[in-house]
């Protein structure tokens, strides 16, 4: 069977986005990595949040081989991935005012911690209020979003603000509004979203920058190893014990 032209076009589009993000967001990635590393060095805790499909890049850095052991998922019930039925309920929850404040108030997050908030559009109430409330509590907020949405769509938050407006550091994924890279004359809707590929890469690049910053400070990065290599479980157990007060997915 010959190669799929559309499959190749998707790879080209995704690679192009990754190259653009690398070229244009390198300073912001370094700044985000530094903020995370500084929190680790200061006995702070790390959290990642995303709703719907934006939760996938957040989950990708939690309890992950080669990842920082201190990264915790800040979960909103019903908004993590598409694990709620019907799936459309998750989208509805993103528009509920006050939900973010309730989640933060019941979480272990405190001043000096870092919260990474991932939202492709950054226009819904949940990520906007999550950023606003987190900063009010004294957390450093890193937003991972597509800034294009702020220019081409309207906010769904009462203030008219987007996620990017309430972050200390913004990482722009460069994803076009609509999150679909391909079109075809015989297919009515655009298709082939690349936001997960690009945002996961942004998150992992930021974790790499954080590890680099920790080494520069003379601190061994608290990294997990794969449980599928010899000694991995034992290594991870030591990490869990050493940083027990800052890891919340193990309790």
> pLDDT for 218-228, tens place per residue?
999 999 999 99
What residues does each domain of the chain span? 5-246
Q: What is the pTM of this model?
A: 0.93
Residue 251 has pLDDT above 60, yes or no: no
Tell me which of 5-19, 36-50, 91-105, 149-163 is least confident: 91-105
pLDDT at 163 over 90: yes
Q: List pLDDT tens digits, range 106-139.
A: 899 999 999 999 999 999 989 999 999 999 999 9
Q: What is the mean pLDDT of residues 205-211?
A: 98
Class for the domain spanning 5-246:
alpha beta
Per-residue model confidence as pLDDT tens digits over 176-198: 999 999 999 999 999 999 999 99
Instruction: Compare 97 and 108 and report the one with higher pLDDT.
Output: 108
Model pLDDT for residues 18-73, shown as the tens digit of each residue? 999 999 999 999 999 999 999 999 999 999 999 888 999 999 999 999 999 999 99
What pLDDT band is residue 96 in, cutting at 50, 70 and 90? Answer: low
Pick the more confident residue, 224 or 85.
Answer: 224
Nearest Cα neighbor of 141 from 114, 111, 123 is 114
């Amino acid at each position: 069977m010959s190669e799929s032209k559309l499959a190749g076009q998707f790879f080209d589009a995704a690679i192009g986005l990754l190259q653009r993000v690398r070229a244009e967001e390198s300073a912001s990635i370094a700044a985000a990595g530094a903020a995370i590393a500084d929190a680790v060095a200061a006995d702070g805790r790390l959290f990642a949040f995303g709703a719907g499909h934006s939760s996938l890049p957040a989950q990708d850095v939690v309890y992950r081989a080669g990842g920082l052991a201190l990264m915790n998922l800040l979960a909103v019930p019903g908004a993590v991935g598409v694990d709620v039925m019907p799936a459309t309920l998750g989208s509805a929850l993103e528009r509920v005012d006050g939900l973010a404040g309730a989640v933060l108030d019941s979480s272990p997050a405190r001043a000096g911690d870092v919260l990474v908030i991932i939202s492709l559009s950054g226009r819904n109430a949940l990520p906007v209020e999550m950023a606003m409330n987190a900063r009010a509590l004294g957390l450093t907020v890193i937003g991972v979003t597509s800034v294009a949405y702020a220019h081409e769509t309207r906010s769904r938050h009462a203030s008219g603000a987007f996620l990017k407006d309430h972050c200390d550091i913004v990482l722009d994924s460069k994803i076009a509004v609509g999150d679909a890279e391909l079109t075809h004359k015989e297919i009515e809707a655009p298709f082939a979203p690349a936001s997960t590929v690009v945002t996961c890469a942004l998150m992992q690049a930021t974790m790499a920058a954080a590890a680099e910053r920790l080494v520069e400070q003379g601190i061994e990065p608290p990294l997990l190893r794969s449980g599928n290599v010899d000694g991995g479980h034992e290594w991870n157990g030591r990490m869990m014990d050493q940083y027990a007060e800052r890891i919340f997915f193990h309790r």
